[in-house]
Chain A
């Protein structure tokens, strides 16, 4: 059952490419805004780069998650989905994992423009950066999908999703910035391992909560 839902998410995205593309374009616009607002030809933003990266990901996730849920809103496919006799927590899991995959794909592409346009050196330990970023994406998505499940059917969903999402995800952002800046400055693992622990706890807590609550959230 889970795999059917999961494959459906991936197939829709593979066909339309809406979510990843819109996230990419939005990400590029944000990078542009960062470049202009920080006067990047004269100012070295390497210190702020980790934070800026994850702020960009926050905005992009808000957009992507909104897009991902709006499919269901459009043709009221949600009621059909919800009416079927499945474990509705599976919907959460499918959206969480597929969303994380889309976010990772988008990040993999946006990393190069991010570092090049902001005139920062590419990280030397790219593998470590990628692996921790995948973990962070999972954490961000676990919160985002849960919030979107709650807020998407509201009338002001474009406003409500960010307002609910940003404060709830703040520990992940703190942790993400600490991890990334630790990796970029080649700090030893011990220095930032506690942040990894925080990211993993967020994943565990929110996935459990999401799986349990989605049943109640999507009742009609």
Chain B
């Protein structure tokens, strides 16, 4: 197998991602309006929410990969599932780290049982279990099936979790900037730009990770 970045498409995407990320940060620092009561801390929003979006997108892909694995019985889909699970968990962890950091100056306390943060926490715990199962679940063929099933179940559970957590404590006010449509145009535009760049970054990361997993499988089976 060739190195990943020798491939033209991949190095092009890498270049685009780096370029647009710098552009994104410049845009966030210089072009976005300064919200009166949050100042600089509000700009955390531009990476916090896209991270959540990418995390959930990745978990959705784990579910799709699980379904495809059962339909096609092809190891490729197991690799996709594992890669998407790993990267999804990275971004979800970032959400759970940046959330409290954002919350401390805004709400005064790091954690609040707000529906979307709580859903994210529950999903994070489910995926910790996923990785434990990948390690201790038994021999490889079985574990692939278990992992695929777990990936499907986990994402099926997400809407139920979200609805129940939302009605659980309705008196807890939502995230500060929940209503996207009500945002002044400067914020919405910058947010959408950041969102698309994060998605592009995610696609690159997913491709790279799938490649490394495939390379690892090849090398290990050879030995």
Contacts and interface: CB of A to CB of B under 8 A. Distances in A.
Interface of A: 146, 150-151, 153-156, 159-160, 163-164, 166-168, 170-171, 174-175, 178, 194-195, 198, 201-202, 205-206, 209, 213, 216-217, 219-220
Contact of A151 (B122, B128, B133): B133
Contacts of B128: 163
Given A156-B136, A164-B133, A198-B163, A171 B157 contact: yes
B129 A164 contact: yes
B64 to A, nearest CB: 15
B18 interface: no
A155 B152 CA distance: 23
A166 B121 CA distance: 12
Interface of B: 70, 122-123, 125-126, 128-130, 132-133, 136-138, 142, 145-146, 148-150, 152-154, 156-157, 160-161, 163-165, 167-168
A220 B146 CA distance: 12
Contacts of A174: 164-165, 168
Contacts of A154: 133, 136-138
B135 to A, nearest CB: 9
A153 B142 contact: yes
B136 to A, nearest CB: 5
B129 A167 contact: yes
Interface centre among A160, A167, A209, A213 (most CB of B within 10 A): A167
19 contacts: A151-B137, A153-B138, A154-B133, A159-B132, A164-B126, A164-B129, A166-B125, A167-B122, A171-B157, A171-B161, A174-B168, A194-B167, A195-B164, A198-B160, A205-B160, A209-B152, A213-B149, A216-B145, A220-B142
Given A146-B149, A167-B122, A216-B149, 5 more contacts: A150-B133, A153-B138, A154-B137, A160-B133, A174-B168
Contacts of A171: 157, 160-161, 163-165
A202 B133 CA distance: 23
A213 B145 CA distance: 9
Task: Please report whether the interface of chain A is mostly helix, strand, loop or mixed according to DSSP.
Answer: helix
B138 to A, nearest CB: 5
B133 A175 contact: no
B222 to A, nearest CB: 27
B33 to A, nearest CB: 38
B152 A168 contact: no
A150 B66 CA distance: 14
Nearest to B158: A171
A216 B70 contact: yes
A151 B135 CA distance: 12
A178 B168 contact: yes
B136 A160 contact: yes
Contacts of A217: 145-146, 149
Contacts of B133: 150-151, 154, 160, 164
Given A150-B150, A151-B133, A209 B156 contact: yes
Q: Which 4 A-B pairs have the closest CB atoms?
A: A171-B164, A167-B125, A164-B129, A163-B129
A151 to B, nearest CB: 6
B214 to A, nearest CB: 23
Interface centre among B136, B146, B148, B168 (most CB of A within 10 A): B146
Contacts of B152: 209, 213
A150 B164 contact: no
Nearest to A164: B129
B160 A163 contact: no
A219 B70 CA distance: 11
Nearest to A173: B164
A201 B132 contact: no
A18 to B, nearest CB: 25
Contacts of A167: 122-123, 125-126, 129
A168 B154 contact: yes
A126 B141 CA distance: 49
